[in-house]
Chain A
Amino acid sequence: MHNLESPVIELINIKKSIREEEILKGISLKVCKGEFVAIMGASGSGKSSLLYIMGLLDRPTSGEVLFKGQRTDFQKGEELSKVRNESIGFVFQFHYLLPEFTLLENVMVPMLKRGTYVDEAKEKAYDLLSRLSLKGKENRKIYQISGGEMQRVAIARALANEPELFLADEPTGNLDSKNTQMVMDIFQDINATGKTIVMVTHDIQVAKRAKRIVEMKDGQVIGY
Chain B
Amino acid sequence: MRYILFIVSKLLLERKRQTIVSIAGVAIGVCALIVMSSLMFGFQKYFINQVIDLEPHISIKPKEYGDEKKIARMIDPDGLWDVMGSKPKEKDKIIGWRELINRIERRDDVMGLAPHLVVKGIIKYGIKEKPVTIIGIDPDLEPKASVIERFLEYKRLSSLKTNRDTLIIGRLVAKDLGIKDVGKKVLVMFPTGSTRILKIEDFFNSGITNIDNSRVYMNMRAVQGLMDRTDEVNEIAIKVKDVNQAERIASELQKTTEYHVESWQRAYINFLQIFKIQNTITYLIVLSILTVSAFGIFNIIMMTVLEKKRDIAILMAMGYTRKDVLSLFLTQGMIVGLCGALLGSLMGYGLQEYLSSVKLEVEGLIRTKGFMLDRSFSYYIYGFFFSMFFSFLASFYPSYRASKLDPVEIFRSA
Contact = CB atoms under 8 A, between A and B. Distances in A.
Interface stretch (A89-97, A178-186, A210-218): A89-97
Nearest to A87: B319
B285 interface: no
Given A96-B313, A100-B11, A100-B14, A112 B2 contact: yes
Contact of B317 (A57, A86, A94): A57
B81 interface: no
Contact of A157 (B318, B321, B408, B411): B318
Contacts of A84: 317-319
A33 B34 CA distance: 64
A47 to B, nearest CB: 12
B169 to A, nearest CB: 73
Nearest to B410: A96
B310 A96 contact: yes
Chain A, interface residues (CB within 8 Å), range: 20 to 34
Given A100-B10, A109-B7, A112-B6, A52 B408 contact: yes
B318 A110 contact: yes
A112 B3 contact: yes
A85 B319 contact: yes
Contacts, number: 77
A113 B320 contact: yes
B408 A58 contact: yes
A81 interface: yes
A140 interface: no
Interface residues of B, number: 27
B366 interface: no
Contacts of B11: 100
Contacts of B317: 55, 57, 84, 90
A57 B6 contact: no
A88 B320 CA distance: 12
B130 interface: no
A48 B412 contact: yes
Contact of B321 (A78, A112, A118): A78
A76 to B, nearest CB: 10
A112 B408 CA distance: 23
A81 B320 contact: yes
Contact of B411 (A92, A113, A114): A92
Nearest to A82: B319
Interface in A26-80: 48-49, 52, 55, 57-58, 77-78
A52 B319 contact: no
Interface string A164-184: 000001000000000000000
Contacts of B315: 109
B314 interface: yes
A113 B3 contact: yes
18 contacts: A52-B408, A52-B411, A57-B316, A77-B321, A81-B316, A81-B319, A81-B321, A86-B319, A98-B10, A98-B311, A98-B314, A100-B10, A109-B3, A110-B319, A112-B3, A113-B318, A114-B319, A161-B319
